[in-house]
Amino acid sequence: MVMQADLRATRTEARLRVAPLDDCRVRDPAERLALLVELRDRGTPVLMHAPDGHALRTTLSVVDAAAARLAFALSAAESSAPYLSPLLDADDVTAIAHPGPVKLQFELTGLVLVRGQASVVLQSALPEEMLRIQRRESFRVTPPVSAPVAYLRHPAIPDMSLALRVLDLSLGGCALRLPDDVPPLSPGTHIAGVTIELDVNTRLRADLTLQHLTHLSSGGSPGQMSSARVGCEWRLARVEDERALQRWIDQAQVRQRLRQRSTIAEAGASEGTDVPVLTVQLLDTPGDPGAAGTAGAAGSGGPAGAPVPPAG
pLDDT at 40: 93
Task: Indicate whether 109 and 68 sit together in one domain.
Answer: yes
Domain with 269, as residue range(s), is 137-312
pLDDT at 242: 87
Task: Indicate whether 126 and 145 sit together in one domain.
Answer: no
CB under 8 Å to 77, separation ≥6 — which residues? none
Task: Indicate whether 247 and 100 sit together in one domain.
Answer: no
Task: Indicate whether 123 and 156 sit together in one domain.
Answer: no
DSSP-derived 3-state class of residue 172: coil
Provide the domain count of the chain. Answer: 2
Beta bridge partners of 223: none
Amino acid at 180: D
Share of the chain above pLDDT 90, in %: 23
Rounded-to-integer distance, Cα 172 and Cα 19, Å:
13
- Give pLDDT tens digits for 244-281: 888 888 887 777 777 767 666 666 555 555 444 333 33
State mean pLDDT over 45-58. 82
Rounded-to-integer distance, Cα 32 and Cα 105, Å:
11
Task: Indicate whether 273 and 297 sit together in one domain.
Answer: yes
pLDDT at 212: 87
pLDDT at 138: 53
Mean pLDDT, the chain, rounded, equals 74
Rounded-to-integer distance, Cα 26 and Cα 106, Å:
10
| Domain CATH for 121 | 2.30.110.10
Q: Would you say 60 and 46 are in contact if contact means Cβ atoms under 8 Å apart? A: yes
The residue out of 81, 103, 134 marking a domain boundary is 134
State mean pLDDT over 10-37. 68
CB under 8 Å to 34, separation ≥6 — which residues? none
Q: Would you say 130 and 104 are in contact if contact means Cβ atoms under 8 Å apart? A: yes
Task: Indicate whether 169 and 300 sit together in one domain.
Answer: yes
CB under 8 Å to 13, separation ≥6 — which residues? 21
Task: Indicate whether 307 and 189 sit together in one domain.
Answer: yes
The residue out of 84, 110, 134 marking a domain boundary is 134
Q: Would you say 49 and 105 are in contact if contact means Cβ atoms under 8 Å apart? A: no
pLDDT at 264: 64
Task: Indicate whether 12 and 46 sit together in one domain.
Answer: yes
Of the listed ranges 2-11, 87-96, 234-243, 268-277, the one predicted with least confidence = 2-11
The residue out of 101, 134, 167 marking a domain boundary is 134
pTM of the entire structure?
0.43
Task: Indicate whether 289 and 160 sit together in one domain.
Answer: yes
- Give pLDDT tens digits for 89-133: 888 898 988 887 778 889 999 999 998 877 889 999 999 999 887
Give the other-Cβ count within 10 Å of 275's Cβ. Answer: 13
Q: Percent helix, strand, coil in the chain (nearest 5)?
A: 20, 35, 40
Task: Indicate whether 186 and 121 sit together in one domain.
Answer: no
Task: Indicate whether 236 and 287 sit together in one domain.
Answer: yes
Rounded-to-integer distance, Cα 70 and Cα 63, Å:
5
Share of the chain above pLDDT 70, in %: 69
- Give pLDDT tens digits for 154-208: 988 888 888 899 988 888 889 999 888 788 888 889 999 999 998 878 889 999 9
Query: Where does 11-110 have alpha helices with state H?
Result: 12-15, 29-42, 76-79, 84-89
Rounded-to-integer distance, Cα 114 and Cα 77, Å:
14
Give the other-Cβ count within 10 Å of 243's Cβ. Answer: 16
pLDDT at 289: 37
| Domain CATH for 202 | 2.40.10.220
State mean pLDDT over 300-309. 39
**Is pLDDT larger for residue 133 or for residue 39?**
39
Task: Indicate whether 163 and 201 sit together in one domain.
Answer: yes
